[in-house]
Structure 1
Amino acid sequence: MQEIVGDSLARRLVEWGVDTVFGLPGDGINGLMEGFRRQREKLRFVLVHHEEAAAFMATGYAKATGRLGVCAATSGPGAIHLLNGLYDAKLDHMPVLAITGMQETSVLGAHYQQEVHTELLYQDVAAYNLMVTNPQQVPGVVDIAIRHALAMRTVAHLTFPNDVQVAAAGTDPYRHVSPGEPPTSSPVASQPPVPAGQADLARAAEVLNAGKRVAMLVGVGARHARDEIIAVAEALASPIVKTLSGKMVVPDDHPLTTGGLGLLGTRPSEELMEECDTLLMVGTSFPYGKYLPKPGQARVVQIDIDASLIGLRLPVDAAVTADARLALQQLLPMLQPRSDRSFLTKYQRERDTWRREMVALQDGSRDPIAPQYLISCVDEAATSDAILTCDSGTIATWAARHWTIRGNREFYLSGNLATMAPGLPYAVAMQHAYPGRQVIAFVGDGGFAMLMAEFLTAVRHELPIKVIINNNNAYGQILWEQIILGYPEYAVRHQQPEADFGAWARACGGYGAKVTDPKALPGVIREALAHPGPALVDCDVNPNEPPMPGKVQYDQAKHFTEAFLRGQPHKVATVATVARDKINELRS
């Protein structure tokens, strides 16, 4: 059988250690699909229902494994659908290779059906972006694309015209005026941990040793450095604050952490940022500057593997470009252990108060069901190594505050893009990558409905994911954003009837349940998590439960009040919910 370009591509992916491609076929990639078919013993093609989900799956696969994620889509609309998931990969610095189709070279420029020049469309999202026009370019450009994705932790893109896909591999159809050598390479990349420079470390140690009230802010870039983070924090008597994407870096029940920072963070984390005189940032460029110390308030040390991400939010007094684990190992002996732990002790007490308040909101007697109670039931029943994926929206608030990182638990969501809909595709990809672990998608009804067909993908591929839907029949985060800006809500609640996604799960051949009674919830959650196959619990929650900031600012309270005075349509129910929350907090 003659080897074609599609076959050559598939072989090269296998040589790079790729074992999975997420995608959806079309006539624009039939030659590539034939190559995948020929390599099906070594390269699994996971057929999805929407290309956006394929890109999310590739991104989720990369996030969970640290390996290259690969997705494929046909020309035109298929390639366009990949973009949202690819931007998720780009903004969260994940290595993903996107492979798309293109019309035959002979008709390009002729306004042919589905003629979308994806190499132009992908200019912003892909660091390496090429239309392959000669079979001799493969596999060299495949190597270059993959190296770009891995080295820069970003998106690379290759698009193949139909006629090139089925051309004999290695042939040259052109007569060249100035013969040149096609790219040659090998499927090998080097990604050694990068140590810190001694001068940078000395400067960092000087700044940190001079600090009186030191705080640490850690992100997902430090996920492999848990022990080192804790050791440095212990030496500096520093509270550890976590970004949302970095939630898994340190266990939530560790005595040194005060929890997250930002709109979904904790009050003690926000307040200590207002008081610290020195800040050590590790593995994060935290995008929300208003939650960081005011310029001039604190001296800043930042450690990041990517020098371009240092100093984006605050003036930096010491910059260390290095692998987080190596840098902290090198830095630790240079630090002077603190005897004064009053700053840490103060915020440990504040953290304990905050945790009691959060537990008080997990009230199983409330009807409608409190979303905090729903996630607390999941948290209690899940295994110690469970992976939780999450969507953007109010759902992220409940997960951030009530999903406890302990043991080997992990947590993933769309960090910097903050897009809806990745929770379910992430779960599919991560369950594929880790078949022996419990993988739970904790999603809202809005995000789930966007790509709900991928539950059927899980059933068909026998992936035992668990899906928990926090169903408020609304776009809850948008609702509260309207109110916090001082506007009465508009066009963010769905009309009746409410969806029964449990029925959809059963129709797909999985476990499905609809829960409206808080007394039934714990048992249903346990039953779903114990189910041997894909399972879904659709839980109706209180739609008027506000995702309150950790610390309410004056302007937020002012706009909230103005919205009510202008005629907030659900003000009675909302006020009742807020009052009930406050009573529970006071009782804690």
Structure 2
Amino acid sequence: MSNTSDVLVERLIAWGVDTIFGLPGDGINGVFEALRQRKDRIRFIHVRHEESAAFAACAYAKFTGRLGVCIATSGPGGIHLLNGLYDAKMDHAPVLAITGLQHADLLGTFAQQDVALDKLFIDVCEYNERVMNGAHIEGLTDLAIRTALARRGVAHLTLPVDVQTQPVRQGRSDRNPPHHSTATPTFDAHLPSQVDLQHAADILNRGKRIAILAGQGALHATDELERMAAVLGAPIIKSLLGKAAVPDDSPYTTGGIGLLGTEPSQTALEDCDTLLMVGTSFPYIEFLPKPGDAKCVQIDCDPQRISLRYPADVGIVGDTRVCLKALLPMLKKHDDRFLRSAQKGKQKWAELIEKQGTHLDKPMKPQVVGWELGKRIPANAIITSDSGTITTWWARYVPALRGQKHSCSGNLASMACGLPYAIAAAVAYPDRPVYCIIGDGGLSMLMGELITIAAYKLNIKIIVIKNNTLGQIKWEQMVFLGNPEYACDLFPADFATIARGCGIPSRTIEDPARCGADLELALQRQGAALVEAVVDPFTPPMPAKVKPSQAAKLAESLMRGEPNRGKIALTAVSDAVRELV
């Protein structure tokens, strides 16, 4: 006789779920028994922390386009999921979280682990329900999964421990006949209206200096973006999550935008008279044209995102690839003067990146690691980045090649995501190499996942850029506030030794002259490997265009007693900063 947990797991399988990340616990044992009985049809990936399970589910959804699923026990297990679930919410990844609850007749009586997880998860979820009895589970599971996929967000089902083993007929009402719901998604291609397309075409056809800003919503529209750029004579500028939307060696892109972006991208946005936003609601308004300076066409599958950051003259709601294909025949061929100007800026920027990436100064600069690594990652690789200064070195120095996948914790910008993201990528694509670019701060937060990588023999290359400091926070204290750094130093840990203790081969790199060769030796081996790259902690990840106010704040912090002001002055990368220092 089927019970609640049996039906839950069968519905997951019916929806095509084949992987679930999490940890067991007595508050979720009923579901784990159902998973055990079906382990030949749905695999359980045992991570070392529930936060990792949620991050991995988010990344699994990002990399595959399918539902990511995580599971945790009652009380603290469910609480630990929250950070990764907020990552999914803020980056629009479809994720289902399954949690346990205390026995139904003990809820609200101060029993052990009596945490009302459905109430706790209210803000993070698009769909959030407590399973009341065995007859309740089938319809709730179908609706939770459908909602997560349709709204590209988080759904949550929480099951009291006794309900998990109830027969499915228990509590069934006459209005709830079995099998009345379906595991078939009902989504259309969001075809745009001809009126909106014509209006958009009119604006783009009148534009003289058009810039395309592409985000993660355009990751599947690479060819259409490049055709659009060729027709409009427009450079393609990429948000961080849109890094792989167009390969960095494409003649149509100038790279990223924002604090981690490139100077030619910023220049193109400042000089454009027309902005085409495709699959992005880029959150940093200060990098966009001033409202009114440029006409704007925005394409997004979510109408809530239209005109969120920049006033759109026309908003097209639909799948970006479908919309671009429909729009292209309506456009006239533009000259390419604006694009050629952007390409010249891109060439100068590339020369600067190469210069910074080939410095032989000691201690080794982090840019050298990024530069040498970027030349060695194959075209079929999946690359994950953690958050912090590490994101700058990934964004600028590790190019996206055609066919690669890249991702990070975008809008949440959470540290510790790097290893769980890499685990999800390696589980989803066992035949592809995975590269995890991570800082010592982010690695130490969920370092137990090194054991997960070893346990499952995952083909993950971990590159730890170690500077013994919370670098991003340090520079934000100085550059944004003008204060000396405080509480940012990290106790030096030997990550190579720790990795070996977890069963992962490792090596340490300190000499910039040997960085490339040492990386080659470490990365050419099969299976997991860790490289600990020890770098200069006083190299600031400055914006592509340093504002006078930022340079002044940095100078102010040095004058106010920054303990490392001499070393920082010597390594400052901006001419404007050097003048003030």
**TM-score interval, normalised by the smaller of the two chains:** over 0.9
2:517 matched residue in structure 1: 523
Letter in 2 for 1:172: Q
Tell me the percent identity: 48
Letter in 1 for 2:504: G
Q: Tell me, yes or no, if the aligned pair for 1:476 and 1:492 is still in contact at 8 Å.
A: yes
Deviations 1:291-320 (A, max 9, x none): 001011001000001111110011110110
- Between the aligned partners of 2:388 and 2:545, the Cα distance in structure 1 is 18
Deviations 1:165-216 (A, max 9, x none): 0112x22248x7xx53267301111333222110000000011111111111
Matched, 1:66 2:65: yes
- Between the aligned partners of 1:92 and 1:282, the Cα distance in structure 2 is 15
Matched, 1:550 2:544: yes
Which of 286, 289, 292 aligns to 2:288? It is 292
2:396 matched residue in structure 1: 401
- Between the aligned partners of 1:260 and 1:331, the Cα distance in structure 2 is 24
What is the correspondence of 1:274-423 to structure 2 with a 5 Å cutoff? Answer: 274-339=270-335, 341-423=336-418
What is the correspondence of 1:421-436 to structure 2 with a 5 Å cutoff? Answer: 421-436=416-431
What is the correspondence of 1:218-229 to structure 2 with a 5 Å cutoff? Answer: 218-229=214-225
What is the correspondence of 1:236-275 to structure 2 with a 5 Å cutoff? Answer: 236-275=232-271
CA positional deviation for 1:10: 1.1
Matched, 1:481 2:479: no
- Between the aligned partners of 1:190 and 1:432, the Cα distance in structure 2 is 28
Which of 547, 552, 568 aligns to 1:574? It is 568
- Between the aligned partners of 1:483 and 1:441, the Cα distance in structure 2 is 28
- Between the aligned partners of 2:498 and 2:313, the Cα distance in structure 1 is 55
Q: CA RMSD in A?
A: 1.5
Deviations 1:396-417 (A, max 9, x none): 1011111111231221001111
CA positional deviation for 1:4: 2.1
CA positional deviation for 1:428: 0.6
Letter in 1 for 2:169: T
What is the correspondence of 1:203-214 to structure 2 with a 5 Å cutoff? Answer: 203-214=199-210
1:147 matched residue in structure 2: 146
- Between the aligned partners of 1:83 and 1:66, the Cα distance in structure 2 is 21
Q: Tell me, yes or no, if the aligned pair for 2:20 and 2:70 is still in contact at 8 Å.
A: yes
Q: Secondary structure at the match of 2:462?
A: strand
Deviations 1:421-474 (A, max 9, x none): 111100011101001111000000000100111111011111121100010111
Q: Tell me, yes or no, if the aligned pair for 2:59 and 2:421 is still in contact at 8 Å.
A: yes
- Between the aligned partners of 1:519 and 1:554, the Cα distance in structure 2 is 34
Q: Tell me, yes or no, if the aligned pair for 1:137 and 1:182 is still in contact at 8 Å.
A: no
What is the correspondence of 1:51-90 to structure 2 with a 5 Å cutoff? Answer: 51-90=50-89
Deviations 1:68-103 (A, max 9, x none): 000000000000000000000011000000000000
CA positional deviation for 1:33: 0.5
Matched, 1:233 2:229: yes
CA positional deviation for 1:283: 0.3
Q: Tell me, yes or no, if the aligned pair for 2:20 and 2:71 is still in contact at 8 Å.
A: yes
CA positional deviation for 1:333: 0.9
Letter in 2 for 1:335: L
CA positional deviation for 1:494: 1.8
CA positional deviation for 1:532: 1.7
Q: Tell me, yes or no, if the aligned pair for 1:363 and 1:370 is still in contact at 8 Å.
A: no
- Between the aligned partners of 1:223 and 1:395, the Cα distance in structure 2 is 22
Letter in 2 for 1:455: L
What is the correspondence of 1:89-104 to structure 2 with a 5 Å cutoff? Answer: 89-104=88-103
1:199 matched residue in structure 2: 195
Q: Tell me, yes or no, if the aligned pair for 2:381 and 2:433 is still in contact at 8 Å.
A: yes
2:15 matched residue in structure 1: 16
Across the two proteins, how many residue pairs are aligned to each other?
575
Unaligned runs of 5+ in 2: none
2:449 matched residue in structure 1: 454
1:40 matched residue in structure 2: 39
Q: Tell me, yes or no, if the aligned pair for 2:291 and 2:310 is still in contact at 8 Å.
A: yes
Q: Tell me, yes or no, if the aligned pair for 1:267 and 1:551 is still in contact at 8 Å.
A: yes
Q: Tell me, yes or no, if the aligned pair for 1:14 and 1:42 is still in contact at 8 Å.
A: yes
2:553 matched residue in structure 1: 559
Q: Tell me, yes or no, if the aligned pair for 2:357 and 2:367 is still in contact at 8 Å.
A: yes
**After the TM superposition, which segments of 4 or more aligned residues of structure 1 sit over 3 Å from their partners?**
none
CA positional deviation for 1:270: 1.0
Q: Tell me, yes or no, if the aligned pair for 1:511 and 1:533 is still in contact at 8 Å.
A: no
Name the TM-score, length of structure 2 as normaliser: 0.97
Deviates more, 1:84-93 or 1:507-516: 507-516
Q: Tell me, yes or no, if the aligned pair for 1:213 and 1:278 is still in contact at 8 Å.
A: yes
- Between the aligned partners of 1:173 and 1:351, the Cα distance in structure 2 is 65
Q: Tell me, yes or no, if the aligned pair for 2:86 and 2:124 is still in contact at 8 Å.
A: yes
Matched, 1:445 2:444: no
Letter in 2 for 1:575: A
- Between the aligned partners of 1:8 and 1:191, the Cα distance in structure 2 is 24
Q: Tell me, yes or no, if the aligned pair for 2:246 and 2:402 is still in contact at 8 Å.
A: no
CA positional deviation for 1:7: 1.6
Q: Secondary structure at the match of 2:228?
A: helix
